[in-house]
Structure 1
Amino acid sequence: MFAQLHTSGKPLLMPNPWDAGSAVMLKAMGFQAFGSTSAGAAYTAGRPEGTLSLDEMLDAAETLARVSGLPVSADLENGGSDTPEAAAHAIREVGKRGLAGASIEDCAPGVATYPMALSIARVEAAVAAAKDTGVVLTARAEGLQGDAPDLEDICTRISAFSKAGADVVFAPGLTDADMVRAVVKAAGDTPVSVILGAPYGALTVARLADLGVARISLGSSLARAAYGGALTAARNLLEKGSFALPENTYSFDEIEALLRG
């Protein structure tokens, strides 16, 4: 079961494929579970993050699960709307799609975090829906990504979400060991998920394991890396009149082998 893959000190490495092909290849590399990425799904649709509907985010996550056969936790942003009822509805829809998990954020796309009471009420409603569906619920505290990050507020929210019954808690934006340690302490016995990679500092898997983290994801990093390589090569063609692939580009045969499993 997906929940059993979350072990403090032995974190689940859960990358975020952005389309069917990346999911198939990452499975072939040996990963056990995926998180979807709302940003990566939006890029695939030719749109910026925060513009997908709830159904579109669910479709993206369902595609990853269908082609890989692995547990997938759906990135649902705020669940489609601000209310506790919307959060519960989103989790019930996840259950109907047969997805293993989902995350709910405590802010709307591009908007400051919700007041504490509303954020807790949304998690409580999502927890109740998750219990009915078997969905592994990740409650996210997003405040560290805003203009005025407040670790104390984040830890208060993480503690409250844990007490409300979230299966996993997640505070994107942790950049050093002291911040991770504070969130793990605030979470108590609830597994903590951490995002790894730029712009979130230079922490390693081994260091995060030592700090008691139970899950590590990559957010939109893989999608941005893939698009970055392609766009850099295309820009060179336009601006320099030459074309050269990045040195780490996989060969045709290597890609084909991964897609065949």
Structure 2
Amino acid sequence: MPRTIAEKRALFWTLHASDCFLLPNPWDVGSARYLEALGFRAIATTSSGFAWSTGHANNHLSRDTVLTHLEQMVAARDLPVNADFENGFGKDAAGVAESVKLAVAAGVAGLSIEDSTADATDPLLPLDVAVERLRAARQAIDEVGGDTMLIGRAENFFVGVPDLEDTLTRLKAYAAAGADCLYAPGIKTREQIAAAVAAVAPKPVNVLVGSSSEFTLSDFAALGVRRVSVGGALARAAWGGFMQAAQSLANGRFDGFTDAATGAQLNSPFT
């Protein structure tokens, strides 16, 4: 029997209780089902990967489009789904609360709220505003789906403001505001990661690995990290192969298909 939404959410919480697990980011139903076939225990959506698959830049999709995508990913199989919910799709705290309730209704096991503004000249929300929005998300979850995990994201290193002290201040504030898990995409060194883990202990911390890394999953576990996600990296890897093959075609060559999967390999996980 397929897992219920409640069972998926319960499993998601269990995964965060100890050790360290991989949380890969598929961009569509097919990639989600393939990851499940490989034995992954949970998945997370990627705003960038999904946007690219629809012919848009990251952070340029409507709330309704994203919510439909979340519903499809939740229905794809039995894995818990963590939603990359960008900045909460609300102009203010009340708007964030409304959007979060809709995401919970879509069946996600967890959702993240960012503190970025999408404005390169002023990329981070003031801390008090970001906290207010996260508190609104917390209240919304408590009202309609208390078993949904809330992830607070400090985007400093991701948006070009690599201030570790401010990052830690934000993570601690988001933890105090009700975030169940904390995430600072872009921190990379052992010292940065260990500082983030210590700042919000005993709450779990997510680390992003978006490119080749010297760390293994065991290394992250030794630092106290609870989960490791890859953001848009899998989508970028797929696009890299496609772009290389397409560029070869544009030059009148067919050598871009050398490493292509066979039809049988692709049919196998879906039958």
Does structure 2 retain, via aligned residues, the 8 Å contact 1:57–1:75? no
Match status 1:49 vs 2:58? yes
Cα deviation digits, residues 100-136 of structure 1 (max 9, x gap): 1111101133451100111111111111112221221
Gaps of 5+ in 1: none
Rounded Cα–Cα distance in structure 2 between residues aligned with 1:4 and 1:27: 18
- Alignment partner, residue 6 of structure 2: none
Cα deviation digits, residues 169-211 of structure 1 (max 9, x gap): 1000011111100110111211101111327x53321111111
Match status 1:109 vs 2:118? yes
Identical columns (%): 37
Rounded Cα–Cα distance in structure 2 between residues aligned with 1:107 and 1:226: 27
- Alignment partner, residue 6 of structure 1: 16
Rounded Cα–Cα distance in structure 2 between residues aligned with 1:227 and 1:248: 14
- Alignment partner, residue 265 of structure 2: 254
Gaps of 5+ in 2: 1-9
Match status 1:139 vs 2:149? no
- Alignment partner, residue 241 of structure 2: 229
Does structure 2 retain, via aligned residues, the 8 Å contact 1:19–1:64? yes
- Alignment partner, residue 218 of structure 2: 206
Does structure 2 retain, via aligned residues, the 8 Å contact 1:7–1:215? no
Aligned residue-pair number? 257
- What's the offset of the Cα at 1:16? 0.7
One-letter amino acid matched to 2:17 = T
Rounded Cα–Cα distance in structure 1 between residues aligned with 2:79 and 2:38: 13
Match status 1:148 vs 2:158? no
One-letter amino acid matched to 1:73 = N
2:160 match: secondary structure: coil
- Alignment partner, residue 73 of structure 2: 64
Q: Cα distance 1:247–1:154, how it changes in 2: closer, same or farther (>3 A)? A: farther
2:255 match: secondary structure: coil
Superposed CA RMSD: 1.6
- Alignment partner, residue 191 of structure 2: 178
Give the TM-score taking structure 2 as reference length.
0.90
Does structure 1 retain, via aligned residues, the 8 Å contact 2:210–2:232? no
1:99 match: secondary structure: coil
- What's the offset of the Cα at 1:13? 1.2
Rounded Cα–Cα distance in structure 2 between residues aligned with 1:41 and 1:110: 21
